[in-house]
């Protein structure tokens, strides 16, 4: 993948809801919306979803939203109000319900010991350039405004990519972003430790500038109320061990998960548009791994980007990322203009 900078500065279903299966796709790569079969999801239009925000106030200004969006993303206050406010309200309800379940468990355990609360973990998955990083940043900002859970941390799985030297040694440089290019054991252990309630957990730090991990630098996470884990393959099921036994996977520790979906053809356009903008900005830095693409013509640079999309990112999307869509709690579907059009919420 072109693992380039994001470009940022850093209950009741209303309406006439239809049901669909996010795991099923049409010939275009977009989810099928056949309504004749029962599915585990409730399918909602943008208007139906927006109505579910109830009276939740909008805590972000236009300037804050602009700082949170990624390069090439189209996010405005209407999008935040219609899509992400209802989602923050839903997640707040989930967090409170989890706390209630913990109380029930403590009642059941009685004298055997009260269970201390552990962080609520949210996974955000989707293709390169689909806008999942913006979704994760918006959720972090919105959820932190709720008084029940002010401490919201966010990590990306980029830090758990193998260092470049190891990727080269394993012959995986052309598979960067594929499941095998990550230290999945370390990533799963990190989230497991968070979920276990450890006081302090560390993660590697990745730099999009140098296209590699930053040596001797770590991100420290200290008992957040909510942890958001964002990445291409966060919904991947665990691989069997060498002994053939099923292992616990990263997604097994999620309390809620979001898949950001769009047609591959639309994502390709966003990807190329982002590459153009990065070529004019971040790639100009002499330390940038991609600085060499500022020394050739725009058409030559874009042909490289098209090749990377066709041979790496699109292949990874269709073979590894999109097949995990049906494992998500919520599927958010974007149209060609980057605006969310429909959402599918898993039933309980």
> Binding site residues, as ranges?
126-133
Binding residues for ATP, by number, are: 126-133
Distance CA(254)–CA(241), nearest Å, equals 21
Residues ≥6 apart with Cβ < 8 Å to 216: none
- In DSSP terms, which residues pair with 16 in a beta bridge? none
- Asked whether 330 and 343 are in contact (CB, 8 A), the reply is yes
Query: Residue 297: exposed, middle, or buried by beta-carbon count in 10 A (0-12, 13-18, 19+)?
Result: exposed
The CA-based angle 69-73-74, given to 5 degrees, is 100
d(CA 156, CA 159): 7
Residue 258: strand pairing partners = 124, 330
Give the residue from 262, 231, 257, 265 showing the smallest Cα distance to 326: 257
Cα atoms found within 13 Å of the Cα of residue 78, Cβ hemisphere only: 7
Structure tokens at 25: 């796709």
Burial class (CB in 10 A: 0-12, 13-18, 19+), 179: middle
């Amino acid at each position: 993948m072109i693992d380039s900078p994001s470009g940022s500065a850093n209950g009741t279903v209303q309406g006439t809801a239809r049901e669909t299966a996010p795991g099923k796709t049409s010939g275009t790569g977009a989810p099928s919306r056949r309504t004749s079969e029962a599915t585990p999801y409730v399918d909602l239009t943008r208007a139906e979803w927006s109505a579910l925000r109830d009276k939740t106030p909008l805590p972000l200004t236009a300037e804050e939203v602009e700082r949170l969006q990624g390069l090439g993303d189209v996010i405005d206050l209407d999008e935040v109000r219609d899509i992400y406010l209802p989602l923050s309200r839903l997640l707040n309800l989930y967090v409170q319900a989890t706390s209630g379940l913990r109380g029930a468990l403590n009642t059941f355990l009685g004298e055997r010991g009260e269970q201390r609360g552990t962080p609520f973990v949210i996974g955000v998955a989707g293709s390169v350039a689909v806008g999942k990083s913006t979704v994760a940043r918006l959720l972090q900002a919105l959820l932190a405004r709720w008084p029940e859970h002010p401490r919201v941390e966010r990590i990306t799985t980029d830090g758990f990519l193998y260092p470049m030297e190891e990727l080269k040694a394993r012959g995986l440089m052309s598979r960067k972003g594929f499941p095998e290019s990550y230290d999945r054991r370390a990533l799963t252990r990190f989230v497991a430790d968070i979920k276990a309630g450890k006081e302090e957990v560390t993660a590697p730090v990745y730099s999009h500038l140098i296209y590699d991990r930053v040596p001797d630098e770590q991100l420290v996470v200290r008992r957040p109320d909510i942890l958001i884990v964002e990445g291409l393959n966060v919904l991947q099921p665990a691989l069997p061990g060498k002994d053939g036994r099923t292992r616990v996977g990263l997604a097994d520790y999620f309390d809620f998960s979001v898949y950001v979906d769009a047609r591959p053809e639309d994502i390709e356009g966003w990807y190329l548009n982002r590459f153009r903008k990065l070529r004019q900005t971040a790639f100009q830095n002499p330390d940038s791994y991609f600085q060499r693409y500022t020394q050739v013509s725009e058409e030559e640079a874009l042909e490289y980007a098209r090749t990377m999309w066709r041979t790496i990112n699109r292949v990874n999307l269709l073979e590894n990322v999109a097949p995990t869509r049906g494992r998500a709690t919520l599927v958010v579907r974007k149209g060609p203009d980057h605006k969310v059009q429909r959402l599918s919420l898993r039933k309980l």
